Structure 1
Protein backbone atom coordinates (compact mmCIF):
# COMPACT_ATOMS: atom_id res chain seq x y z
CA UNK A 1 0.00 0.00 0.00
CA UNK A 2 1.07 3.57 -0.58
CA UNK A 3 1.05 6.23 2.10
CA UNK A 4 -2.42 7.68 2.50
CA UNK A 5 -4.14 4.85 0.64
CA UNK A 6 -7.88 4.49 1.21
CA UNK A 7 -7.69 0.68 0.91
CA UNK A 8 -10.14 -0.75 3.40
CA UNK A 9 -9.27 -4.43 3.37
CA UNK A 10 -7.82 -7.45 1.62
CA UNK A 11 -9.57 -10.56 0.39
CA UNK A 12 -8.57 -14.12 -0.35
CA UNK A 13 -10.96 -15.39 -2.98
CA UNK A 14 -10.97 -19.18 -3.04
CA UNK A 15 -10.89 -21.06 -6.34
CA UNK A 16 -12.14 -24.52 -5.40
CA UNK A 17 -11.32 -27.30 -7.81
CA UNK A 18 -8.68 -25.38 -9.78
CA UNK A 19 -6.81 -28.05 -11.72
CA UNK A 20 -3.36 -26.53 -11.26
CA UNK A 21 -3.47 -26.37 -7.46
CA UNK A 22 -4.49 -22.70 -7.29
CA UNK A 23 -5.92 -22.00 -3.85
CA UNK A 24 -6.90 -18.33 -3.87
CA UNK A 25 -6.69 -14.97 -5.56
CA UNK A 26 -5.62 -11.99 -3.47
CA UNK A 27 -7.52 -8.72 -3.81
CA UNK A 28 -7.36 -5.25 -2.29
CA UNK A 29 -10.66 -3.45 -1.65
CA UNK A 30 -10.92 0.34 -1.73
CA UNK A 31 -14.28 1.56 -0.48
CA UNK A 32 -15.89 4.84 -1.48
CA UNK A 33 -18.23 5.51 1.42
CA UNK A 34 -21.38 3.64 2.43
CA UNK A 35 -23.13 4.13 -0.93
CA UNK A 36 -20.65 4.05 -3.84
CA UNK A 37 -21.85 5.10 -7.29
CA UNK A 38 -20.27 1.99 -8.78
CA UNK A 39 -17.59 -0.60 -8.13
CA UNK A 40 -14.75 -1.36 -10.53
CA UNK A 41 -12.88 -4.68 -10.56
CA UNK A 42 -9.30 -3.94 -11.65
CA UNK A 43 -7.69 -6.73 -13.68
CA UNK A 44 -3.91 -6.10 -13.83
CA UNK A 45 -1.25 -6.44 -16.46
CA UNK A 46 1.27 -9.28 -16.47
CA UNK A 47 3.77 -8.88 -13.65
CA UNK A 48 1.95 -5.92 -12.08
CA UNK A 49 0.75 -6.39 -8.51
CA UNK A 50 -2.69 -5.27 -7.41
CA UNK A 51 -1.09 -2.93 -4.85
CA UNK A 52 0.47 -0.93 -7.70
CA UNK A 53 -2.98 0.46 -8.54
CA UNK A 54 -3.52 1.95 -5.06
CA UNK A 55 -3.06 5.62 -6.15
CA UNK A 56 -5.48 5.10 -9.04
CA UNK A 57 -7.98 3.39 -6.73
CA UNK A 58 -7.77 6.41 -4.43
CA UNK A 59 -8.61 8.72 -7.35
CA UNK A 60 -11.64 6.57 -8.14
CA UNK A 61 -12.72 6.53 -4.47
CA UNK A 62 -12.58 10.33 -4.29
CA UNK A 63 -15.18 10.30 -7.10
CA UNK A 64 -17.47 7.86 -5.31
CA UNK A 65 -16.26 4.76 -7.18
CA UNK A 66 -15.17 1.76 -5.12
CA UNK A 67 -12.67 -0.74 -6.51
CA UNK A 68 -11.38 -4.27 -6.07
CA UNK A 69 -7.85 -4.75 -7.46
CA UNK A 70 -7.03 -8.43 -8.00
CA UNK A 71 -3.70 -10.18 -8.32
CA UNK A 72 -3.74 -12.40 -11.39
CA UNK A 73 -3.60 -16.11 -10.76
CA UNK A 74 -0.05 -17.11 -9.82
CA UNK A 75 1.33 -13.58 -9.35
CA UNK A 76 1.47 -10.97 -6.62
CA UNK A 77 -0.08 -12.24 -3.39
CA UNK A 78 -2.21 -14.89 -5.11
CA UNK A 79 -1.12 -18.43 -4.27
CA UNK A 80 0.51 -20.63 -5.25
CA UNK A 81 2.94 -18.83 -7.54
CA UNK A 82 3.09 -19.84 -11.18
CA UNK A 83 5.42 -22.76 -11.77
CA UNK A 84 5.86 -26.02 -13.65
CA UNK A 85 2.60 -27.46 -12.30
CA UNK A 86 0.63 -24.43 -13.51
CA UNK A 87 -1.74 -25.13 -16.39
CA UNK A 88 -4.05 -22.13 -16.65
CA UNK A 89 -4.47 -19.91 -19.67
CA UNK A 90 -6.85 -17.17 -20.85
CA UNK A 91 -9.87 -19.47 -20.70
CA UNK A 92 -9.43 -20.31 -17.02
CA UNK A 93 -8.91 -16.66 -16.10
CA UNK A 94 -12.03 -15.65 -18.04
CA UNK A 95 -14.35 -18.46 -16.91
CA UNK A 96 -13.15 -19.39 -13.42
CA UNK A 97 -11.22 -16.49 -11.90
CA UNK A 98 -13.23 -13.44 -12.93
CA UNK A 99 -16.58 -15.08 -12.06
CA UNK A 100 -15.23 -15.86 -8.56
CA UNK A 101 -14.05 -12.26 -8.13
CA UNK A 102 -17.34 -10.84 -9.42
CA UNK A 103 -19.34 -13.05 -7.04
CA UNK A 104 -17.25 -11.92 -4.07
CA UNK A 105 -17.54 -8.28 -5.14
CA UNK A 106 -21.32 -8.41 -5.56
CA UNK A 107 -21.71 -10.09 -2.19
CA UNK A 108 -19.70 -7.30 -0.56
CA UNK A 109 -21.25 -4.32 -2.36
CA UNK A 110 -24.67 -5.88 -3.00
CA UNK A 111 -26.33 -6.24 -6.44
CA UNK A 112 -27.81 -2.71 -6.77
CA UNK A 113 -24.30 -1.22 -7.08
CA UNK A 114 -23.29 -1.24 -10.80
CA UNK A 115 -20.18 -3.33 -11.40
CA UNK A 116 -17.62 -2.79 -14.16
CA UNK A 117 -14.47 -4.65 -15.16
CA UNK A 118 -11.42 -2.47 -15.70
CA UNK A 119 -8.73 -4.35 -17.58
CA UNK A 120 -5.15 -3.22 -17.99
CA UNK A 121 -3.13 -4.89 -20.76
CA UNK A 122 -3.75 -8.66 -20.59
CA UNK A 123 -6.35 -7.91 -17.91
CA UNK A 124 -8.34 -6.09 -20.58
CA UNK A 125 -8.03 -8.97 -23.03
CA UNK A 126 -9.26 -11.43 -20.40
CA UNK A 127 -12.03 -9.00 -19.45
CA UNK A 128 -13.23 -8.98 -23.06
CA UNK A 129 -13.23 -12.79 -23.12
CA UNK A 130 -15.10 -12.97 -19.82
CA UNK A 131 -17.84 -10.61 -20.97
CA UNK A 132 -18.10 -12.51 -24.26
CA UNK A 133 -18.51 -15.75 -22.32
CA UNK A 134 -20.99 -14.26 -19.83
CA UNK A 135 -22.33 -10.92 -21.16
CA UNK A 136 -24.75 -10.42 -18.25
CA UNK A 137 -22.18 -10.68 -15.43
CA UNK A 138 -21.13 -7.01 -15.47
CA UNK A 139 -22.61 -3.63 -16.37
CA UNK A 140 -19.79 -2.70 -18.72
CA UNK A 141 -16.11 -2.87 -19.53
CA UNK A 142 -13.31 -0.33 -19.16
CA UNK A 143 -10.06 -0.91 -21.06
CA UNK A 144 -6.97 1.10 -20.09
CA UNK A 145 -3.73 0.50 -21.99
CA UNK A 146 -5.29 -2.75 -23.22
CA UNK A 147 -4.95 -3.72 -26.85
CA UNK A 148 -4.76 -6.81 -28.97
CA UNK A 149 -1.23 -8.19 -29.02
CA UNK A 150 -1.76 -9.05 -32.72
CA UNK A 151 1.48 -7.98 -34.40
CA UNK A 152 -0.50 -6.29 -37.17
CA UNK A 153 -1.52 -3.62 -34.68
CA UNK A 154 2.07 -2.38 -34.42
CA UNK A 155 4.05 -0.28 -36.87
CA UNK A 156 7.46 -0.64 -38.46
CA UNK A 157 10.15 -2.49 -36.53
CA UNK A 158 7.83 -2.82 -33.54
CA UNK A 159 5.73 -5.32 -35.50
CA UNK A 160 8.63 -7.73 -35.91
CA UNK A 161 9.88 -7.09 -32.37
CA UNK A 162 6.51 -7.94 -30.82
CA UNK A 163 6.07 -11.03 -32.98
CA UNK A 164 9.56 -12.34 -32.25
CA UNK A 165 9.37 -11.46 -28.56
CA UNK A 166 6.06 -13.19 -27.88
CA UNK A 167 7.08 -16.36 -29.73
CA UNK A 168 10.42 -16.45 -27.90
CA UNK A 169 8.66 -16.08 -24.54
CA UNK A 170 6.22 -18.88 -25.39
CA UNK A 171 9.10 -21.13 -26.46
CA UNK A 172 11.09 -20.49 -23.28
CA UNK A 173 7.99 -21.03 -21.15
CA UNK A 174 7.27 -24.34 -22.88
CA UNK A 175 10.83 -25.58 -22.49
CA UNK A 176 11.27 -24.33 -18.91
CA UNK A 177 7.80 -25.32 -17.77
CA UNK A 178 6.74 -21.73 -16.98
CA UNK A 179 7.86 -18.22 -17.93
CA UNK A 180 10.56 -17.08 -15.44
CA UNK A 181 9.90 -13.40 -16.01
CA UNK A 182 10.91 -12.53 -12.43
CA UNK A 183 14.46 -13.52 -13.46
CA UNK A 184 14.40 -12.20 -17.02
CA UNK A 185 12.87 -8.81 -16.25
CA UNK A 186 9.52 -9.00 -18.03
CA UNK A 187 5.99 -9.97 -16.95
CA UNK A 188 6.86 -11.93 -13.80
CA UNK A 189 6.36 -15.68 -13.33
CA UNK A 190 3.64 -16.92 -15.65
CA UNK A 191 2.01 -20.14 -16.76
CA UNK A 192 3.38 -21.64 -19.95
CA UNK A 193 -0.19 -22.16 -21.19
CA UNK A 194 -0.97 -18.49 -20.67
CA UNK A 195 2.15 -17.44 -22.57
CA UNK A 196 1.29 -19.77 -25.46
CA UNK A 197 -2.23 -18.33 -25.62
CA UNK A 198 -0.73 -14.83 -25.64
CA UNK A 199 1.77 -15.70 -28.38
CA UNK A 200 -1.01 -17.28 -30.49
CA UNK A 201 -2.96 -14.02 -30.46
CA UNK A 202 0.15 -12.17 -31.63
CA UNK A 203 0.78 -14.67 -34.40
CA UNK A 204 -2.78 -15.17 -35.69
CA UNK A 205 -4.77 -12.18 -34.45
CA UNK A 206 -7.41 -14.57 -33.09
CA UNK A 207 -8.50 -15.23 -29.51
CA UNK A 208 -8.56 -19.03 -29.42
CA UNK A 209 -7.18 -20.01 -26.00
CA UNK A 210 -6.37 -23.58 -25.02
CA UNK A 211 -9.36 -25.42 -23.54
CA UNK A 212 -11.95 -22.95 -24.88
CA UNK A 213 -15.53 -24.23 -24.74
CA UNK A 214 -16.93 -21.58 -27.09
CA UNK A 215 -15.88 -19.75 -30.24
CA UNK A 216 -14.59 -16.61 -28.54
CA UNK A 217 -14.27 -14.66 -31.76
CA UNK A 218 -17.97 -15.18 -32.54
CA UNK A 219 -19.02 -14.46 -28.96
CA UNK A 220 -16.98 -11.25 -28.83
CA UNK A 221 -18.67 -10.05 -32.03
CA UNK A 222 -22.08 -10.47 -30.39
CA UNK A 223 -21.26 -8.87 -27.02
CA UNK A 224 -23.51 -5.80 -26.77
CA UNK A 225 -22.14 -3.92 -23.81
CA UNK A 226 -20.89 -0.41 -23.02
CA UNK A 227 -17.11 -0.05 -23.32
CA UNK A 228 -14.74 2.79 -22.47
CA UNK A 229 -11.38 2.18 -24.16
CA UNK A 230 -8.42 4.36 -23.19
CA UNK A 231 -5.09 4.34 -24.98
CA UNK A 232 -2.15 6.07 -23.34
CA UNK A 233 0.44 8.39 -24.85
CA UNK A 234 3.87 6.79 -25.00
CA UNK A 235 2.54 3.24 -24.62
CA UNK A 236 4.69 0.97 -26.78
CA UNK A 237 3.02 -2.26 -25.60
CA UNK A 238 -0.56 -1.17 -26.34
CA UNK A 239 -0.35 1.66 -28.90
CA UNK A 240 -3.47 3.29 -30.29
CA UNK A 241 -3.69 0.90 -33.25
CA UNK A 242 -3.50 -2.12 -30.95
CA UNK A 243 -6.30 -0.72 -28.74
CA UNK A 244 -8.39 -0.03 -31.84
CA UNK A 245 -7.76 -3.60 -32.99
CA UNK A 246 -9.12 -5.00 -29.72
CA UNK A 247 -12.15 -2.70 -29.91
CA UNK A 248 -12.80 -3.95 -33.46
CA UNK A 249 -13.47 -7.38 -31.94
CA UNK A 250 -16.58 -5.84 -30.32
CA UNK A 251 -18.74 -4.51 -33.21
CA UNK A 252 -21.99 -4.89 -31.23
CA UNK A 253 -20.66 -2.95 -28.24
CA UNK A 254 -21.11 0.77 -27.65
CA UNK A 255 -17.47 1.86 -27.55
CA UNK A 256 -16.22 5.24 -26.41
CA UNK A 257 -12.55 5.76 -27.37
CA UNK A 258 -10.21 8.23 -25.71
CA UNK A 259 -6.47 8.76 -26.10
CA UNK A 260 -4.91 10.03 -22.88
CA UNK A 261 -2.15 12.60 -23.22
CA UNK A 262 -0.48 13.39 -19.92
CA UNK A 263 0.86 16.82 -19.08
CA UNK A 264 4.64 16.58 -19.27
CA UNK A 265 6.42 13.34 -20.13
CA UNK A 266 4.36 10.41 -21.45
CA UNK A 267 3.47 7.94 -18.68
CA UNK A 268 3.56 4.81 -20.83
CA UNK A 269 2.02 1.36 -20.49
CA UNK A 270 2.24 1.02 -16.70
CA UNK A 271 3.00 4.47 -15.31
CA UNK A 272 -0.54 5.80 -15.83
CA UNK A 273 -1.68 3.86 -12.75
CA UNK A 274 0.58 5.99 -10.54
CA UNK A 275 -0.74 9.27 -11.89
CA UNK A 276 -4.21 8.32 -13.05
CA UNK A 277 -6.33 11.23 -11.85
CA UNK A 278 -7.26 12.31 -15.38
CA UNK A 279 -8.24 8.76 -16.31
CA UNK A 280 -10.29 8.40 -13.11
CA UNK A 281 -12.08 11.65 -14.01
CA UNK A 282 -12.81 10.35 -17.51
CA UNK A 283 -14.24 7.13 -16.07
CA UNK A 284 -16.36 9.15 -13.65
CA UNK A 285 -17.76 11.22 -16.52
CA UNK A 286 -18.40 8.13 -18.65
CA UNK A 287 -20.34 6.51 -15.81
CA UNK A 288 -22.44 9.66 -15.40
CA UNK A 289 -23.15 9.96 -19.15
CA UNK A 290 -23.69 6.33 -19.96
CA UNK A 291 -25.14 4.93 -16.78
CA UNK A 292 -26.42 7.90 -14.79
CA UNK A 293 -24.32 6.90 -11.79
Structure 2
Protein backbone atom coordinates (compact mmCIF):
# COMPACT_ATOMS: atom_id res chain seq x y z
CA UNK A 1 0.00 0.00 0.00
CA UNK A 2 1.25 3.48 -0.90
CA UNK A 3 0.10 6.59 0.94
CA UNK A 4 0.81 10.30 0.37
CA UNK A 5 0.12 12.75 3.21
CA UNK A 6 1.21 16.12 4.58
CA UNK A 7 2.52 16.34 8.15
CA UNK A 8 3.36 19.39 10.26
CA UNK A 9 6.92 20.17 11.32
CA UNK A 10 7.66 21.95 14.60
CA UNK A 11 7.63 25.24 12.70
CA UNK A 12 4.25 24.33 11.20
CA UNK A 13 5.69 23.72 7.75
CA UNK A 14 3.66 21.19 5.81
CA UNK A 15 5.98 18.36 4.82
CA UNK A 16 4.82 16.02 2.08
CA UNK A 17 5.70 12.38 2.63
CA UNK A 18 5.16 9.16 0.73
CA UNK A 19 4.86 5.85 2.55
CA UNK A 20 5.63 2.65 0.66
CA UNK A 21 4.38 0.11 3.16
CA UNK A 22 5.94 -3.34 3.15
CA UNK A 23 4.46 -6.33 4.94
CA UNK A 24 7.34 -8.73 5.48
CA UNK A 25 9.97 -7.01 7.63
CA UNK A 26 9.51 -4.89 10.75
CA UNK A 27 11.90 -2.25 9.48
CA UNK A 28 11.22 1.24 8.19
CA UNK A 29 13.70 2.98 5.89
CA UNK A 30 13.55 6.80 5.88
CA UNK A 31 15.26 8.34 2.84
CA UNK A 32 16.71 11.84 3.28
CA UNK A 33 17.11 13.51 -0.11
CA UNK A 34 20.05 15.40 -1.55
CA UNK A 35 19.85 19.20 -1.85
CA UNK A 36 17.31 20.32 -4.43
CA UNK A 37 16.25 16.76 -5.25
CA UNK A 38 12.57 15.83 -5.10
CA UNK A 39 11.51 12.69 -3.29
CA UNK A 40 10.24 11.27 -6.58
CA UNK A 41 13.88 10.70 -7.55
CA UNK A 42 13.95 7.90 -4.98
CA UNK A 43 10.61 6.35 -5.97
CA UNK A 44 12.06 3.43 -7.92
CA UNK A 45 14.43 2.34 -5.19
CA UNK A 46 11.66 2.81 -2.61
CA UNK A 47 9.35 0.52 -4.58
CA UNK A 48 12.21 -1.96 -4.99
CA UNK A 49 12.58 -2.20 -1.21
CA UNK A 50 8.81 -2.34 -0.79
CA UNK A 51 8.80 -5.32 -3.13
CA UNK A 52 10.94 -7.15 -0.59
CA UNK A 53 8.56 -6.30 2.25
CA UNK A 54 10.45 -3.28 3.60
CA UNK A 55 8.52 -0.11 4.51
CA UNK A 56 10.03 3.07 3.04
CA UNK A 57 9.28 6.73 3.75
CA UNK A 58 10.38 9.51 1.40
CA UNK A 59 9.71 13.22 1.84
CA UNK A 60 10.32 16.67 0.40
CA UNK A 61 12.02 19.31 2.52
CA UNK A 62 10.05 22.53 2.95
CA UNK A 63 10.37 24.63 -0.20
CA UNK A 64 11.07 21.61 -2.43
CA UNK A 65 8.71 19.54 -4.59
CA UNK A 66 5.36 18.85 -2.96
CA UNK A 67 6.45 20.67 0.20
CA UNK A 68 6.65 23.96 -1.71
CA UNK A 69 3.30 25.41 -0.64
CA UNK A 70 3.84 29.05 -1.67
CA UNK A 71 5.95 31.25 -3.90
CA UNK A 72 9.53 30.21 -3.23
CA UNK A 73 10.51 33.87 -2.74
CA UNK A 74 8.32 33.90 0.38
CA UNK A 75 9.84 30.80 1.95
CA UNK A 76 11.69 31.52 5.20
CA UNK A 77 13.03 28.00 5.70
CA UNK A 78 16.73 27.33 6.26
CA UNK A 79 19.05 24.39 5.78
CA UNK A 80 19.10 23.93 9.56
CA UNK A 81 15.29 23.77 9.49
CA UNK A 82 15.47 20.91 7.01
CA UNK A 83 17.24 18.80 9.61
CA UNK A 84 15.94 20.05 12.95
CA UNK A 85 12.32 20.48 11.85
CA UNK A 86 11.50 18.63 8.63
CA UNK A 87 13.52 15.45 9.14
CA UNK A 88 12.70 15.50 12.85
CA UNK A 89 8.97 15.60 12.03
CA UNK A 90 9.31 12.69 9.61
CA UNK A 91 11.17 10.60 12.18
CA UNK A 92 8.53 11.42 14.80
CA UNK A 93 5.82 10.32 12.38
CA UNK A 94 7.71 7.12 11.63
CA UNK A 95 8.06 6.36 15.34
CA UNK A 96 4.32 6.79 15.93
CA UNK A 97 3.20 4.97 12.79
CA UNK A 98 5.62 2.05 13.12
CA UNK A 99 6.47 1.99 16.86
CA UNK A 100 8.05 -1.46 17.01
CA UNK A 101 9.99 -1.29 13.76
CA UNK A 102 13.74 -1.02 13.37
CA UNK A 103 14.63 2.45 12.07
CA UNK A 104 17.11 2.71 9.22
CA UNK A 105 17.93 6.21 7.96
CA UNK A 106 19.42 6.57 4.49
CA UNK A 107 21.00 9.92 3.70
CA UNK A 108 21.98 10.92 0.18
CA UNK A 109 24.47 13.79 -0.05
CA UNK A 110 23.26 16.56 2.28
CA UNK A 111 20.68 14.15 3.65
CA UNK A 112 23.52 12.41 5.46
CA UNK A 113 24.59 15.71 7.00
CA UNK A 114 21.10 16.64 8.20
CA UNK A 115 20.74 13.37 10.12
CA UNK A 116 23.09 14.84 12.72
CA UNK A 117 20.68 17.74 13.31
CA UNK A 118 17.64 15.60 14.15
CA UNK A 119 17.30 14.43 17.76
CA UNK A 120 15.08 11.52 16.74
CA UNK A 121 18.01 10.15 14.75
CA UNK A 122 19.25 8.87 18.12
CA UNK A 123 16.62 6.14 17.70
CA UNK A 124 18.25 4.79 14.53
CA UNK A 125 19.24 1.14 14.45
CA UNK A 126 21.35 1.74 11.36
CA UNK A 127 22.42 4.69 9.22
CA UNK A 128 23.33 4.36 5.55
CA UNK A 129 25.09 7.25 3.83
CA UNK A 130 25.42 7.48 0.06
CA UNK A 131 27.78 10.15 -1.28
CA UNK A 132 27.35 12.18 1.92
CA UNK A 133 30.11 14.65 2.62
CA UNK A 134 31.27 18.01 3.86
CA UNK A 135 30.65 20.71 1.28
CA UNK A 136 33.71 22.77 2.24
CA UNK A 137 35.48 23.63 -1.02
CA UNK A 138 38.91 22.95 0.49
CA UNK A 139 38.29 19.20 0.30
CA UNK A 140 38.41 19.31 -3.50
CA UNK A 141 41.60 19.13 -5.57
CA UNK A 142 42.85 20.95 -8.68
CA UNK A 143 40.30 22.54 -11.00
CA UNK A 144 37.50 21.08 -8.89
CA UNK A 145 38.61 23.19 -5.92
CA UNK A 146 38.57 26.35 -8.04
CA UNK A 147 35.12 25.54 -9.43
CA UNK A 148 33.68 24.99 -5.97
CA UNK A 149 35.23 28.19 -4.62
CA UNK A 150 33.80 30.19 -7.54
CA UNK A 151 30.43 28.51 -7.06
CA UNK A 152 30.10 29.59 -3.43
CA UNK A 153 31.75 33.00 -3.68
CA UNK A 154 30.49 34.31 -7.03
CA UNK A 155 27.76 32.24 -8.67
CA UNK A 156 25.57 31.69 -5.60
CA UNK A 157 25.73 35.27 -4.24
CA UNK A 158 25.09 36.76 -7.69
CA UNK A 159 22.08 34.57 -8.53
CA UNK A 160 20.54 34.75 -5.05
CA UNK A 161 20.68 38.55 -5.10
CA UNK A 162 19.35 38.70 -8.66
CA UNK A 163 16.36 36.37 -8.23
CA UNK A 164 15.60 36.40 -4.50
CA UNK A 165 16.14 32.62 -4.37
CA UNK A 166 18.61 30.19 -5.94
CA UNK A 167 17.35 29.44 -9.49
CA UNK A 168 19.02 26.02 -9.69
CA UNK A 169 16.72 24.86 -12.50
CA UNK A 170 18.33 27.42 -14.80
CA UNK A 171 21.83 26.00 -14.38
CA UNK A 172 21.38 22.35 -13.35
CA UNK A 173 18.90 19.52 -12.84
CA UNK A 174 18.34 20.53 -9.22
CA UNK A 175 15.20 22.15 -7.86
CA UNK A 176 15.25 25.85 -7.01
CA UNK A 177 16.30 26.61 -3.43
CA UNK A 178 14.73 29.07 -0.99
CA UNK A 179 16.95 32.09 -0.34
CA UNK A 180 17.86 31.28 3.26
CA UNK A 181 18.62 27.66 2.39
CA UNK A 182 21.01 28.75 -0.34
CA UNK A 183 22.67 31.41 1.81
CA UNK A 184 23.22 29.03 4.72
CA UNK A 185 24.57 26.35 2.39
CA UNK A 186 27.00 28.91 0.91
CA UNK A 187 28.17 29.86 4.41
CA UNK A 188 28.71 26.24 5.43
CA UNK A 189 30.64 25.48 2.24
CA UNK A 190 32.99 28.41 2.84
CA UNK A 191 33.87 27.15 6.33
CA UNK A 192 36.63 24.64 7.07
CA UNK A 193 34.52 22.89 9.70
CA UNK A 194 31.42 23.22 7.56
CA UNK A 195 28.20 23.36 9.60
CA UNK A 196 30.15 22.87 12.85
CA UNK A 197 31.45 26.43 12.49
CA UNK A 198 27.88 27.77 12.53
CA UNK A 199 25.79 25.61 14.88
CA UNK A 200 26.16 25.17 18.63
CA UNK A 201 27.31 21.70 19.64
CA UNK A 202 24.23 21.36 21.87
CA UNK A 203 22.10 21.52 18.72
CA UNK A 204 23.97 18.66 17.05
CA UNK A 205 23.72 14.91 17.56
CA UNK A 206 26.50 13.49 15.38
CA UNK A 207 28.61 12.25 18.29
CA UNK A 208 25.57 11.02 20.26
CA UNK A 209 24.29 8.63 17.63
CA UNK A 210 25.23 5.09 18.60
CA UNK A 211 24.44 2.52 15.93
CA UNK A 212 25.91 0.83 12.89
CA UNK A 213 26.83 3.23 10.06
CA UNK A 214 27.66 2.30 6.48
CA UNK A 215 29.05 4.96 4.15
CA UNK A 216 29.36 4.60 0.38
CA UNK A 217 31.54 6.93 -1.67
CA UNK A 218 32.02 6.85 -5.44
CA UNK A 219 35.36 7.33 -7.16
CA UNK A 220 34.06 9.55 -10.00
CA UNK A 221 31.76 11.65 -7.79
CA UNK A 222 32.68 15.28 -8.49
CA UNK A 223 30.37 16.51 -5.71
CA UNK A 224 31.65 14.23 -2.93
CA UNK A 225 35.39 13.53 -3.08
CA UNK A 226 36.54 10.90 -0.63
CA UNK A 227 38.33 13.46 1.55
CA UNK A 228 35.01 15.29 2.06
CA UNK A 229 33.20 12.01 2.74
CA UNK A 230 35.82 10.98 5.30
CA UNK A 231 35.41 14.29 7.12
CA UNK A 232 31.68 13.77 7.61
CA UNK A 233 32.04 10.14 8.68
CA UNK A 234 34.52 11.16 11.37
CA UNK A 235 31.84 13.30 13.03
CA UNK A 236 29.67 10.24 13.67
CA UNK A 237 32.28 9.31 16.25
CA UNK A 238 30.25 6.83 18.33
CA UNK A 239 28.94 4.71 15.47
CA UNK A 240 30.26 1.35 14.32
CA UNK A 241 31.53 2.36 10.89
CA UNK A 242 31.95 0.59 7.59
CA UNK A 243 33.24 2.64 4.66
CA UNK A 244 32.96 1.36 1.11
CA UNK A 245 34.55 3.21 -1.81
CA UNK A 246 32.97 2.22 -5.12
CA UNK A 247 34.77 2.23 -8.45
CA UNK A 248 32.60 2.27 -11.61
CA UNK A 249 34.37 -0.87 -12.80
CA UNK A 250 33.04 -2.68 -9.72
CA UNK A 251 29.66 -2.68 -11.47
CA UNK A 252 30.99 -2.88 -15.04
CA UNK A 253 29.97 0.69 -15.88
CA UNK A 254 31.97 3.67 -17.16
CA UNK A 255 30.61 6.19 -14.68
CA UNK A 256 28.36 6.50 -11.62
CA UNK A 257 28.77 10.02 -10.28
CA UNK A 258 26.88 11.63 -7.41
CA UNK A 259 23.39 10.47 -8.36
CA UNK A 260 23.89 7.28 -10.33
CA UNK A 261 23.51 4.69 -7.57
CA UNK A 262 19.78 5.43 -7.45
CA UNK A 263 19.34 4.53 -11.12
CA UNK A 264 17.43 1.32 -11.79
CA UNK A 265 20.31 -0.23 -13.74
CA UNK A 266 21.94 -0.92 -10.37
CA UNK A 267 18.99 -2.89 -8.95
CA UNK A 268 20.70 -6.26 -9.40
CA UNK A 269 24.00 -5.05 -7.99
CA UNK A 270 24.10 -2.08 -5.61
CA UNK A 271 20.40 -2.13 -4.74
CA UNK A 272 20.61 -5.85 -4.01
CA UNK A 273 23.56 -5.30 -1.67
CA UNK A 274 21.79 -2.37 -0.02
CA UNK A 275 18.64 -4.42 0.51
CA UNK A 276 20.66 -7.05 2.32
CA UNK A 277 22.09 -4.37 4.62
CA UNK A 278 18.61 -3.07 5.42
CA UNK A 279 17.17 -6.45 6.38
CA UNK A 280 20.32 -7.77 8.09
Asked if TM exceeds 0.5, the reply is yes
Cα deviation for residue 226 of structure 1 reads: 2.0
In the TM superposition, 1:19-98 aligns within 5 A as 22=13, 24-33=14-23, 35-81=24-70, 83-98=72-87
Note the aligned Cα RMSD (angstroms).
2.6
User: Who is 1:122 aligned against?
Assistant: 110
What is aligned with 2:191? Answer: 204
Deviation sequence 1:138-185 (CA, Å, 0-9, x none)? 323211121111122212110121122123344132453211112333
One of 185, 188, 194 as aligned partner of 2:172 = 185
C-alpha distance in 1, partners of 2:54/2:124? Answer: 15
Secondary structure of the residue that 1:100 maps to in structure 2? helix
Over 3 Å counting, the alpha-carbon distance change for 1:16 and 1:285 in structure 2 is closer
Q: Residue 237 of structure 1 contacts residue 269 of structure 1 at CA under 8 Å; is this kept in 2?
A: yes
Equivalent-residue separation in structure 2 for 1:117 and 1:230 (angstroms): 14
Q: Structure 2 CA distance, aligned partners of 1:91 and 1:209?
A: 12
SS at match of 1:268: coil
* 2:100 aligned partner: 112
Q: Select the residue among 147, 150, 157 that pairs with 2:133.
A: 147
Bigger fraction of residues in helix: 2
Q: Secondary structure at the match of 1:238?
A: coil
Structure 1 residue runs without a partner (length 5+): 1-6
The offset of 1:101, in angstroms, is 0.8
How do 1:127-142 residues align onto structure 2 when only pairs under 5 Å count?
127-130=115-118, 133-142=119-128
**Runs of 4+ with >6 A deviation:** none
* Contact preservation (8 Å) 2:136, 2:192: yes
Q: Give the superposition deviation at 1:265.
A: 2.5
Deviations 1:89-139 (A, max 9, x none): 22211111112111222333x211111221111212112332xx4552332
Report whether the alignment pairs 1:284 with 2:255. Answer: no
Shift in Å at residue 85 of structure 1?
Answer: 2.1
Q: Does 1:230 align with 2:224?
A: no
Inter-partner Cα distance in structure 1 for 2:196 and 2:182: 10
SS of equivalent to 2:66:
coil
Alpha-carbon distance in structure 1 between the residues aligned to 2:140 and 2:74: 33
Query: In the alignment, is residue 215 of structure 1 matched against residue 201 of structure 2?
Result: yes
Which is further off, 141-150 or 75-84?
Answer: 75-84
> Within 1, Cα distance between the matches of 2:73 and 2:227?
35
Between stretches 215-224 and 85-94, larger displacement belongs to 215-224
In structure 2, the residue corresponding to 1:46 is in which secondary structure? Answer: coil
1:210 to partner: Cα distance:
10
Distance 1:224 1:240 in 2: 23
1:4 matched to which residue of 2? Answer: none
Alpha-carbon distance between aligned partners in 1 of 2:5 and 2:231, rounded to the nearest angstrom: 34
State the aligned residue count: 274
Would you say the 8 A contact 1:207–1:217 is kept in 2? Answer: no
Distance 1:266 1:82 in 2: 37
Name the CA distance, whole Å, in 2 between partners of 1:75 and 1:186.
13
